[in-house]
Structure 1
Amino acid sequence: MNADQLVSSQQRKRILITGAAGFLGSHLCDRFIKEDFHVVAMDNLITGDLQNISHLFHLENFEFYHNDVSKFVHVPGKIDYILHFASPASPIDYLKIPIQTLKVGSLGTHNLLGLAKAKGARMLIASTSEVYGDPSVNPQPEEYWGNVNPVGPRGVYDEAKRFQEAMTMAYHTFHGLETRIVRIFNTYGPRMRLNDGRVLPAFIGQALRGEDLTVFGDGTQTRSFCYVDDLIEGIYRLLFSDYAQPVNIGNPEEITMMDFAEEIIRLTGTTQKIICKELPTDDPKQRRPDITKARALLGWEPKVNRAEGLKITYEYFRSLPAALLEQTEHKNFVHYNK
């Protein structure tokens, strides 16, 4: 490293991204590398995949820590920003590992807030539209407090995120810590896992395997799908905003699950049927973000339409090895409308 490179390295802002080997975390790593940050990536790999960030390992402004933030967090040197994205985010994951899900939302968040306080860093946490539960209002504004069953099967995720928001705001108000909260609505794109239980990869996986597409309930439930590049842009703008309250980031274009299944069949050119099964417990009937705040505060709104984003995502899944496609335990497979 020559003198100019050394000075440049010392001047770079340093950002810690937890959950860095996951779907969203890896795209965040890409974005902040592109913006010439020094990225400290952290993941315990319980649901993340190093393949998602392997293309960054050779860079001098990228480093990776294999660590569980629920146990402890130690990062030497300065940290200017922290993005906390460490958490199982799909129903199959958080139903398999409920205790770890609760721990990363509570103990992990507490550990990282403590690190942010010690380092004087600004911290953004990844919350979720699941804090609204099965909503009684549509679309969901940030002022809506939600309709969540704390002891239902989804409570381990929903309440972990609600606690995470409360803990973050407590550090903001009591310690004066600079914090940001993003409430993420359904997001899709390359690097999603085919077998994570979310509706989009489940539908595409079933189509690629020649199976009928499974819709739960009567198919009238709605979701709103945001392409990953749009989401990352919203998160980036929120981090550098002056707003500490939660902000919805998502695409407000709503679609029913039945219509979405038909859309996937047209996209994939397959001839499968759509079959309906019983709706899982506490599955939200509606999910659509009110993005008034994001538009006003961040000048943000989604740019990628669903047809364009789905085409890119489908091509990504088609490019995966056949063996990976078959790793899904599709004989007894249950997905959720998430």
Structure 2
Amino acid sequence: MRRNVREGDCLTRILVTGGAGFLGAHLCERLLDMGNHVTCLDNLHTGARQNIAGFLANPRFEFVEHSVIDAFDGYFDEIYNLACPASPQHYQRDPVYTFKTSVIGTLNMLELAKRRGAKLLQASTSEIYGDPLVHPQKENYWGNVNTMGVRSCYDEGKRGAETLVSDFHRFHGVNTRIVRIFNTYGPGMNPEDGRVVSNFIIQALTGNDITIYGDGSQTRSFCYRDDLVEGIIGLMNAPDHVTFPINIGNPVEITVRKLAETVLAMIPSKSRIDFRPLPEDDPMQRCPDVSRAREYLGWEPKVPLQEGLGNTIEYFRQIIASRSIPSVPKTA
């Protein structure tokens, strides 16, 4: 029987959907450290129990195995809606499920927020910009998205979710926030999710060739996990007029090839760089303009790439020592 924290309790009651994922679990940990009661809602489609194992004994933490696609109820003051497969390897595996999670799942959480008078933060993504024609990407840029491509289940699902969030705010008065998350990395990443940082580190640590799709000139910017979570919490606690999208990411840009070379410089390895054809609709440039985050949240990333990569390398070194790593999937 699941516990319910009901009206009259003094703790802030927070629901984190997708709370057993990479970012969700770290968000749960940070919110618990701040003294909140946290309910983690996750159907473990891409999340994992081991990510939240350290919190299960905490009386202020509750895990509910449930999909946001199905109706859910409870008493909450705040809802962080992070539920959705987030790497191409995962969201392309079942594109219809991904789209339903983004749209139906967000609709269910908005209905819950409306019913309980809760504040809702929607985790959107830099993918809504598609393969951008504007650089760096500002929040008022509408994007360049292929509506029928292999990535569109995620891109268009998240764009639709932003529409729902905006309409619930305008027409139903729900107190909402929208964060557009750019590439994030750090300890706790799933070694099998196909993200470029985890792929490069695992390939270098295991002595396999580092796979680059395209010529490596495409750019990304990488925000460390801790910085990203602080930005999300800052947005949830921002003044109520901050209902417009806010980019959270690192504005320091790096080419994919330079990232590979940086990883190889940090890990003694016999790995070489192996160039492969570029996947469909892979964006050539991805870098946030974080002016809004600086202005409205007083936020900017603090952890430099070398430091963050060092922490992440050590995390994967321990993972590899404890178990075998399967073949590395395509990079994101």
TM-score range, shorter chain: over 0.9
- Secondary structure of 1:127's aligned partner: strand
| CA distance in 2 between partners of 1:135 and 1:122 (Å) | 31
Amino acid at match of 1:66: E
Maintained 8 Å contact 1:205/1:325: no
- Pairing of 1:72-221 with structure 2 (within 5 A): 72-75=71-74, 78-221=75-218
Count, aligned residues: 324
Q: Which residue in 2 is equivalent to 1:19?
A: 18
Q: Does 1:334 align with 2:327?
A: no
Give % identity: 50
Q: How far 1:334 sits from its partner (Å)? A: 2.3
Maintained 8 Å contact 1:185/1:248: yes
- Secondary structure of 2:9's aligned partner: helix
- Pairing of 1:151-300 with structure 2 (within 5 A): 151-242=148-239, 243-300=242-299
Amino acid at match of 1:334: K
Maintained 8 Å contact 1:212/1:275: yes
Q: Cα deviations across residues 2-47 of structure 1 (Å, max 9, x unaligned)? A: xxxx9xx921010000001000000110111011010011100010
TM-score (normalizing by structure 1): 0.94
Structure 1 residue runs of 5 or longer lacking an equivalent are: 1-5
Q: Which runs of 4+ in 1 moved over 3 A?
A: 321-325
Amino acid at match of 1:161: K
Amino acid at match of 1:104: T
Q: Which residue in 2 is equivalent to 1:320?
A: 319
| CA distance in 2 between partners of 1:238 and 1:154 (Å) | 27
| RMSD (Å), alpha carbons | 1.3
| CA distance in 2 between partners of 1:50 and 1:305 (Å) | 30
**Cα 1:323–1:60 shift into 2, 3 Å:** closer
- Secondary structure of 2:233's aligned partner: helix
Q: Which residue in 2 is equivalent to 1:56?
A: 55
Maintained 8 Å contact 1:194/1:325: no
TM-score (normalizing by structure 2): 0.95
Q: How far 1:335 sits from its partner (Å)? A: 2.1
Q: How far 1:321 sits from its partner (Å)? A: 4.4
Q: Which residue in 2 is equivalent to 1:3?
A: none
